[in-house]
Structure 1
Amino acid sequence: MSQIIDIFKEITSIPRCSKTHEPFINYMKELCEKLDYLCLVDEVNNILCKKNDSNAKLAFQSHYDIVCLSDNCVPVIVQNGDILSAQNSTLGSDNGIGCAYMIQLMHDNVDGEFLFTSDEEIGLIGANNLDLELNAPYMLNLDSEEEGGVCIGCAGGVDIFASNTNKKIVPNDENLDLYEVSISKLQGGHSGVDIDKNIPNGIKLIAKTIKEANAKLLDINGGERINSIPVNVKAIIASKEIPIASHENMVIEKIDTKSEHLNIFDDKIVDFLYDFENGMRSMNDELGVVQNSINLAIISTNPDEIKIELSARSMANDELANIKDETIQMLEEHNFTVTTDGKYPAWKPDINEFTSKVLEIYKEFNSEASLEAIHAGLECAIFKDKYSSIKVASIGPSIQFPHSKKEQVSIQSVENVFKVVKKIVEEIN
C-alpha cells in the first residue's frame, strides 16, 4: 500500500479553495527543500518542482485548487470502508488526488517536472497564464475522473456574464401577494461531466414556478460556482395566484406584508430564465460523450441589477463559438448586457506514441482500459496550445459527483491508478 491516501489527507487539511494560494505554496516550498527539488513559483501562483539537473522526459500536472461551496472551506474527510467523502462539503479529490500522486513521486525521488497549477476551477487561470518553462516531451495530466480511461481529448469552454438593469417601481394595483420561493439540497454536480445526467437545475426550477404563476420577480439569488449545477436558489416574487412548487425540495412561503408599490424586474428576465434551453444540447456518438452543452449556473440581484453567469462547452471550437453567439443574441433580445471570459480551447483527440504507450501500460493492469474524450475542460488543451510538440494524456481514479457535497472517491481506485502511474514512470521517464 502506498502513502497516497495519507498524503491526500495531509494536503486536504491545507486551505486550497480557488484564490487561496499561500498555504499550499509554503507547504510545497518546505517539501522541496526537504526532498532536494527546486520550487519555482510564477506571478499567478503556479508551482513547478524539479531537480536542479533535471533531464526529465515526463511532466506531471495537476491543479491544486478545489471547489468550495462555502467560503474558506477546509474539507473534513469521512472514511467509510473503501470510500472517502467529506462532511457537508466537497471532498477536493478533484484534483487533490493528482497532487498526492505527484508528491508521492517526489518522495520517491523521481526526476520529473511536477507542475501544480492554480485556480483551475475558476477559469483555468494558472494554466492560461503559465510563466514557467517545461522541457519534457511528454505530459501526464492527473485530473481525469474515471478509472480505466486514458483521456486524449476534452471540451473547450467559455463563460458568459449578463446583466440587466431594467427594474422599476410600480403600484400594486392588482393587490399581489408576496412569496418567498426557495429550493435547496438538490443533487448538484459538475456542469461538464454530469450535464447529461438529468440533474435538476435550481435556477430553472425557480423560473418555472415564477412563470407558471404569472408572477413578478423582485429578488433572486442562487447557484454556487460557474462550473457547478446550481443547488440552492431563493427568490421573492409577487403573485395573484398561489405559486405551485416545481420540485419536492421547493419551499413556498407567503410573506405577511402588503405593499402599495412593488420594485420589480423586467418580465423578459423571467421569460429568458424559463425559455432558455439549459443542459445538454447534442451528443457526439463517435466519441460517446456530450458534444455541446450550456449550464445556467449563477444568478444574483442587487437593488438595481440582476446578473447571470453561464458556462458553455463544446468538443469543437467552431460549435463552441456558435453556442456563445446564439446565447449572447438571446440574452440581448431579453435586454441583457453581455460579456464573456474564461475561454479555453477544445483539445482535439490525438493518438500518438505517448498515448498509445500509456494505454498499453494501463492494459497490463486493466484489460478494459481505453482511449476516451470527456465533456469537461482539462488544462491539457492549453498546454497543447502553449507547447505545440508536447504529447499529452490524462488519467485518474474514479471520482463520483465532483463539485458537490456528494463527492467521493474509492481508495482502491486511487491505488489502482497509482500503479499505472509508477509503471509509466519506469518505462518512459
Structure 2
Amino acid sequence: MSNEIAKLAPQGLWESFYQLTQIPRPSKKEGKAIDFIENFGKDLGFETIRDEVGNVIIRKPATPGMENRKGVILQGHIDMVPQKNSDKQHNFETDPIETYIEDGWVTANGTTLGADNGIGVAAAMAVLKATDIQHGPVEALITMDEEAGMTGANALKAGLLQGDILLNMDSEDEGELYVGCAGGTDANIVFKYAEEAVPEGSVAYKLNLTGLKGGHSGLDINRGRGNANKLMIRFLKFAIANLDVRLASIDGGSLRNAIPREAFAVITLPADNADELLESIEEFEDIYKEEYKGVEPSISFLADAVDIPSGVINEVVQDDLINAVQACPNGVIRFSNDMEGLVETSTNLASVKSGDGVIEAKCLIRSSVDTAKEDVESSIESTFRLAGAEVTFGGQYPGWKPNMDSPILKTMQEVYNKKWGKIPEIKAIHAGLECGILGSAYPHWDMISFGPTIRFPHSPDEKVNIETVEKFWEFLVETLQDIPEK
C-alpha cells in the first residue's frame, strides 16, 4: 500500500497518522510507538516526560500573546485493537497497517485501522509541530494500553500535568460533544478439566463459525450483532444432547472489548452421526442467517473433518461449561432513563478458550450506574460458580459523570455554532473513555471528548471519514484559539 493518506488535508494530521500506521502498536505491545512519541517531542525541542508505565507528556509553550489562557491537555491513547480477518496474513507486532482510500473513507486491508485512537494522537502531534496556530499553553498526554485495561490512565500520577482543560480526542461521531461515559469491570472465569479418552468409533470435526461483524463492545453493543461464542455454544448444546458430541477444544473471540466475530471448536462424535452433524450445521447456519437478517449477512458455519484429538474435555466440565455460557447474560441489559437511546448497562461475553487443562472465559461489564454494574457482576458470578468455575473481577474503571455547567462545553458549543451554524449534540457514551479515570487524579479538570466519524472500530471493517477529520481539525484549532483566560 502507498502513503496516499499522508497527502490528505489537513496534511499535518494525516502525515502524523500515516507515521503511526507504520509502527506496530497493539495493546500491551506498543513500546515502539511510545519511543516514537517520546522522540517526536524531544526532536521538537519541547519538554518531554515519560512516566514509569510509558505515558508520554509533551509541553508546548503558548504562542505570543496567549500566555494568559488556561492550559489545555490534548489527550489520546497510543495503542490500537489488533483484529484481522481469519484469511489475512498479518503480524500486529511487526507489520505496518496497510491503508487505502475508498469512497471518502480511510480504511485498512483486512485489519483494524487504528484510527481509534491514532487520529486523536495524530491531531495532538499536528498541534505540537504547527507554527500557524494560536493557542495558550498546551500539553499532549499520550497514554498507553487503553484498550486492554486502561493501564496508562490508571497509573498516571497526580501533579504531572499543569493544564486545566482536558480535550479527549477519542470519540467517534463528528458534531457530537461527549460529557460522560460508562465505567467497566472485567470478569475472569476459569474452569479446570482433565482430558478423557476419545470414545471408540468416533470421528472428529473442526467447527468454524465466522463472518460476523463484531465491533466495539460499547459503541456497537446495541446494534443487535451476533456473539460468536453464544452462537457456537448454542449449537454445541444441541449437538451434545442429540448427536453424542464430545468437546475437545474451543477457541472463541479474543479481546475483552471486541464483540467476538469468530469461534472455533474441535469435537468428536460417533461416525454414524456424522452426516446428521453436517445437516444440523447447515440448519443452524440457516437459523442464524434468518434470526440476524439485515444485521449479519455474512454468517458462515462450516465443519471440516480433522484428525482425532488426543482427548476430550471430561463430560462433567464440558456440560457445566456449555450450560453456564448458554445462561451467561450478554448484550444490552438496560437502556438509560435519562438519555434516550443511550445504553446504561451491558455485558460482552468476549472470549472462551481452552487448552492445557484450563478453560478461560472473559466478560466486560459496562454501566453508567455502579449498582447496576454490580448486579450484572453478581449474575455472572452466580452463573459460573454454580457451574464449578472460579470467578474473579478486575480492571475496574470509573464512569465519568456529566457536568452540564462545564465552561469548556459552553466554549465549544459557541465555537461550533459560529463556524457551522448549529449547536453540536451533547451526549454521553456507553464505551469506556479515559476521562473518568483521569478525572479521579485531576478532579479540577474541565473535560470534553470529541472526534471525527469512525465506523466499526475494533473490527477489520474500521474506517474513518476523511471529510469529518478535516472538520474535527478545524474545530480543534478554533477551540484552542478561543480558550478562556485564567
Q: Check whether TM > 0.5.
A: yes
Q: Equivalent residue for 2:265?
A: 235
* 2:86 corresponding residue in structure 1: none
Residue aligning to 1:330: 383
- 1:142-153 aligned within 5 A: 142-153=169-180
Distance 1:286 1:177 in 2: 55
For residues 100 and 258 of structure 1, do their structure 2 counterparts lie closer, same or farther at Cα, with a shift above 3 Å needed? Answer: closer
* Cα distance in 1 between the residues matched to 2:307 and 2:439: 59
**Other structure's SS at 1:121 match:** coil
Aligned counterparts of 1:89 and 1:193: Cα–Cα separation in 2: 19
Distance 1:253 1:51 in 2: 58
Corresponding residue number in structure 1 for 2:444: 389
In structure 2, give the amino acid aligned to 1:152. V
Provide the residue aligned with 2:76 in structure 1. 62
Conserved? CA contact 1:5–1:411, under 8 Å = no
Deviation larger for 273-282 or 65-74: 65-74
Does the aligned pair in 1 maintain the 2:61–2:138 contact within 8 Å?
no
Pick the aligned partner of 2:106 from 84, 91, 111: 84
SS in 2 for 1:62: strand
2:336 equivalent in structure 1:
284
Partner in structure 2 of residue 121 of structure 1: 147
Asked if the contact 1:21/1:45 (under 8 Å) is kept, the reply is no
Distance 2:145 2:472 in 1: 24
Q: Distance in 1 between matches of 2:309 and 2:103?
A: 55
Match of 1:423 in 2: 478
Task: Give the Cα–Cα distance (whole angstroms) in 1 for the partners of residues 423 and 446 of structure 2.
Answer: 23
Are the aligned partners of 1:359 and 1:371 in contact in 2 as well (CA < 8 Å)? no
Name the aligned partner's letter for residue 266 of structure 1: Q
> Aligned partner of 2:386: which letter?
E
**Equivalence for 2:373:** 320
CA distance in 1, matches of 2:189, 2:336: 29
Matches for 1:145-184 after TM superposition, within 5 Å: 145-169=172-196, 172=199, 177-184=203-210
5 Å-filtered alignment, 1:71-110, equals 71-72=92-93, 73-108=95-130, 110=135
* Farther off after superposition, 405-414 or 16-25: 16-25
- The offset of 1:188, in angstroms, is 1.3
2:304 corresponds to which of 253, 266, 270:
253
Distance across 2 between alignment mates of 1:71 and 1:333: 38
**Residue 10 of structure 2 corresponds to residue 2 of structure 1:** yes
Deviations 1:317-342 (A, max 9, x none): 22112211221121111111011111
Structure-2 residue corresponding to 1:398: 453
Give the 3 Å change call, closer, same or farther, for CA 24–333 of structure 1 in structure 2.
same
Distance 1:255 1:13, change over 3 A: closer
The two structures have a TM-score, normalised by structure 1, of 0.94
User: Match for 2:389: what amino acid?
Assistant: F
Aligned-partner Cα distance in 2 for 1:81–1:138: 36
Q: 2:27, 2:81 within 8 Å by CA — same for their partners in 1? A: yes
1:17 aligns with 2:69: no
Once the two structures are TM-superposed, the CA of residue 75 in structure 1 deviates from its matched residue by 1.1
Matches of 1:412 and 1:390, distance apart in 2? 30
Distance 1:262-1:103 versus aligned 2 partners, 3 A rule:
closer
Q: For the residues of structure 2 that align with 1:21 and 1:188, how far apart are their CA atoms?
A: 23
Aligned-partner Cα distance in 1 for 2:42–2:309: 66
CA distance in 2, matches of 1:390, 1:29: 24
Say if 1:113 and 1:277 are closer, same or farther in 2 by CA, change over 3 A.
Answer: same
Name the CA shift for 1:148/1:338 in 2 (closer, same or farther; >3 Å): same
Q: TM-score, normalised by structure 2?
A: 0.83
Unmatched tracts of structure 2, length 5 or more = 1-8, 84-90, 286-298
Of the structure 1 ranges 356-365 and 271-280, higher mean CA displacement relative to structure 2 is found in 356-365
| Residue in 2 that maps onto 1:306 | 359
Following the alignment from structure 2 to structure 1, what is the Cα–Cα distance between the partners of residues 394 and 37? 30
Q: Which moved more, 1:293-302 or 1:212-221?
A: 212-221
Decide whether the 8 Å contact of 1:38 with 1:52 is kept in 2.
Answer: no
Amino acid at match of 2:480: V
The RMSD of aligned alpha carbons is 2.1
**Which stretch of structure 1 is more off in the superposition, 371-380 or 206-215?**
206-215
> Residue in 2 aligned with 1:200?
226
Pair 1:410-2:452 in alignment: no
Identity %: 30
Whether the 8 Å CA contact 2:34–2:78 is kept in 1: the answer is: no
Kept after mapping to 1: 8 A contact 2:156/2:438 = no
1:39 and 1:169 map into 2 onto residues whose CA distance is 57
Query: Would you say how many aligned residue pairs link Structure 1 and Structure 2?
Result: 427
Conserved? CA contact 1:159–1:312, under 8 Å: yes
Unaligned runs of 5+ in 1: none
Tell me which moved more, 88-97 or 345-354: 345-354
